């Protein structure tokens, strides 16, 4: 029986532009026949990864870069200063080449005539490796001492001890499908629960020297910035069994799940934060543990909420109604459910689970997941 963790959130964000498109406009999408403000899943996953870096042991995390040769060579020289740097680089290139075939393998090549990236060989796409994998590859090259590392050994290094972000969000290596890792976590694009149109902020910048003169007027420059304000529905889920398979350690899987839930709640995309300071927290968070399938409540907002006042309450009411309707129609009942909500939203969401604080949510979820993983082992 597979265990899933669903994370739902309602979050109100004031006028801002935390995630913009190629024209500078806040991202949007049509849903239920109306235009909604949108924040891409990539934007939120990116800041979740940054959150991990400041809250988790870096040895459990990964590095995504085209400069993988630089990373491995640096660790080789840190452990064995006497090792020749160019020989180390050649060994890294050989290791990645050996695990493919003559037609398809990960290519690391020097950028002839362009030293802006690196003096060493770089891959044609970013590679995502855990710190443990980089360390093990460096150690294998040192121990080989100039000899080629067997492809089987390289494959074993790159397919074990994945970092937490790789285990959660997956890894795709187009040139070597054997190294692909299926994501254990799915993150939806955040959508406003109501129709949304961008506004424009007209601004001027004063030239201090001109301002100080007696006979000069006018601004140093003028411009406009698009912004939008919305209450968002956010959703993500984690397949705990897949996470266990990717990490190979149930206790680390629980740690990763708790870290993701906390990061999902506390992180915020960084787009144009300096001029807008849109540093809000969710109005409500619902976390459910299931043994049937993950379930999004996004269709609660297929009909856009039209209330101008009390929009957060209306959103909570719609979400609670959708959750109850699904449970009644399909019989899907969570193993456990927790509700973290502000003010009047607690009452609207009371029937969806145990009312908790953030601390209580994390403690209860840890106990629940630890018990479930213990039963399975």
DSSP string spanning 1-70?
---EEEEEEEEEEEEE-SSB-TTSSBPEEEETTEEEEEE-HHHHHHHHHHHHHHHS-GGGSEEEES-HHH
Residue 178's φ and ψ, nearest 5 degrees, are -60, -20
- pTM equals 0.93
Report the sign of the C-alpha dihedral through residues 370, 372, 373, 377, in that order: positive
Q: What is the distance of C-alpha 107 from the center of its chain?
A: 27
Which pLDDT score, from 0 to 100, does residue 101 have? 59
33 and 105 housed in the same domain: no
Assigned domain for 202 exists: no
Answer whether 97's CB lies under 8 Å from 105's CB: yes
Assigned domain for 170 exists: no
234 and 334 housed in the same domain: yes
Which pLDDT score, from 0 to 100, does residue 113 have? 59
Which pLDDT score, from 0 to 100, does residue 298 have? 98
Alpha-carbon distance of 250 to 377, in angstroms, equals 9
Q: What is the distance of C-alpha 215 from the center of its chain?
A: 54
How many domains are contained in the chain?
Answer: 2
Q: Which domain holds residue 332?
A: 4-48+184-194+228-376
345 and 256 housed in the same domain: yes
Which pLDDT score, from 0 to 100, does residue 139 have? 96
Which pLDDT score, from 0 to 100, does residue 97 have? 84
Residues 6+ apart with CB under 8 A from 288: 5, 6, 8, 295, 334, 336, 337, 338, 353
Assigned domain for 178 exists: no
44 and 67 housed in the same domain: no
Assigned domain for 367 exists: yes
Question: Which whole-number Å values give the CA distances from 67 to 132, 133, 268, 290, in the listed order?
Answer: 17, 15, 28, 40
Alpha-carbon distance of 152 to 160, in angstroms, equals 12
233 and 349 housed in the same domain: yes
261 and 124 housed in the same domain: no
189 and 285 housed in the same domain: yes
- Output the six-digit token pair for 230: 């919305």
What is the residue-level pLDDT of the chain in tens, covering all 377 positions?
899 999 999 999 999 999 999 999 999 999 999 999 999 999 999 999 999 999 999 999 999 999 999 999 999 999 999 999 999 999 999 998 877 655 667 788 877 655 556 778 888 888 999 999 999 999 999 999 889 999 899 999 999 999 999 999 999 988 788 889 999 999 999 999 999 999 999 998 888 888 777 777 778 889 999 999 999 999 999 999 999 999 999 999 999 999 999 999 999 999 999 999 999 999 999 999 999 999 999 999 999 999 888 899 999 999 999 999 999 999 999 999 999 999 999 999 999 999 999 999 999 999 999 999 888 76
SS3 129: strand
68 and 157 housed in the same domain: yes
């Amino acid at each position: 029986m597979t265990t899933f963790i669903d994370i739902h959130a309602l979050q109100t964000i004031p006028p801002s532009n935390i995630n913009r498109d190629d024209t500078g406009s806040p991202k949007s999408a049509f849903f239920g026949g109306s235009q909604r403000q949108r924040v891409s899943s990539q934007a939120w996953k990116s800041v979740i990864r940054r959150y991990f870096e400041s809250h988790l042991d870096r040895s459990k995390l990964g590095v995504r870069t085209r400069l993988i040769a630089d990373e491995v060579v640096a660790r080789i020289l840190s452990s064995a200063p006497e090792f020749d740097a160019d020989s180390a680089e050649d060994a890294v290139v050989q290791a990645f080449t050996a695990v493919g075939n003559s037609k398809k393998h990960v290519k690391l090549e020097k950028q002839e005539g362009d030293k802006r990236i690196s003096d060493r060989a770089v891959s044609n796409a970013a590679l995502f490796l855990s710190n443990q994998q980089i360390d093990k590859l460096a150690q294998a090259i040192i121990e080989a001492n100039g000899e080629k590392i067997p492809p089987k050994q390289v494959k074993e290094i790159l397919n074990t001890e994945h970092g937490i972000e790789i285990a959660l969000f997956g890894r795709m290596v187009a040139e070597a499908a054997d190294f692909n890792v299926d994501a254990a976590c799915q993150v939806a694009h955040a959508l406003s629960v109501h129709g949304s149109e961008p506004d424009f902020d007209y601004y001027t910048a004063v030239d201090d020297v001109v301002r100080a003169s007696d006979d000069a007027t006018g601004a140093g420059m003028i411009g406009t910035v698009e912004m939008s304000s919305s209450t968002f529905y956010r959703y993500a889920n984690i397949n705990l069994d897949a996470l266990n398979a990717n990490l190979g350690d149930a206790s680390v899987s629980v740690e990763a799940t708790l870290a993701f839930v906390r990061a999902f709640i506390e992180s915020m995309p960084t787009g144009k934060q300096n001029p807008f300071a849109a540093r809000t927290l969710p109005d409500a968070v619902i976390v459910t543990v299931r043994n049937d399938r993950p379930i999004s409540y996004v269709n609660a907002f297929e009909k856009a909420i039209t209330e101008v006042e009390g929009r957060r309450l209306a959103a909570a009411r719609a979400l609670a109604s959708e959750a109850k309707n699904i449970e009644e129609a399909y019989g899907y009942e969570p193993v456990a459910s927790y509700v973290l909500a502000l003010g009047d939203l607690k009452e609207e969401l009371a029937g969806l689970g145990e009312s908790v604080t953030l601390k209580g949510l994390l403690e209860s979820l840890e106990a629940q997941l630890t018990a479930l993983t213990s039963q399975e082992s």
